[in-house]
Amino acid sequence: MFKSNLYVKFIPLGVSKEEVENVFKKAGSNSLKIISIKLKNYEVNEFGIKTPKYQIGYVLYESVKEAQKAIQFFDEAMGLFAD
């Protein structure tokens, strides 16, 4: 497993790779280098029927330092919504 790979949950269905890339490469003031993005539907089995609920994503940055910058940026941004 890559140490510069971020696991992201609860990406709304219908959000594209390009939209995820635009958000994650602009984390912070500098443009970060992303190697790849993979999205997969998270499905729940309800009464024998698989229903997609949201997407999970893997965002692979060029370096661990860049991945850490993105984590720090989003952690601080989430703090804006705390009481």
Note down the domain range covering 50: 5-79
CATH number of the domain where residue 11 is located: 3.30.70.330
CB 61, CB 33: distance < 8 Å: yes
Domains held by the chain: number: 1
What's the residue count for the chain? 83
Q: What is the pLDDT of residues 34-80, one digit of tens each?
A: 999 999 999 999 899 999 999 999 999 999 999 999 999 888 876 65
Can you give the pTM of this predicted structure?
Answer: 0.81
How far apart CA 34 and CA 36 sit, in angstroms, is 6
Spatial strand order of the sheet with 5-11 comes to 5-11, 49-61, 34-46
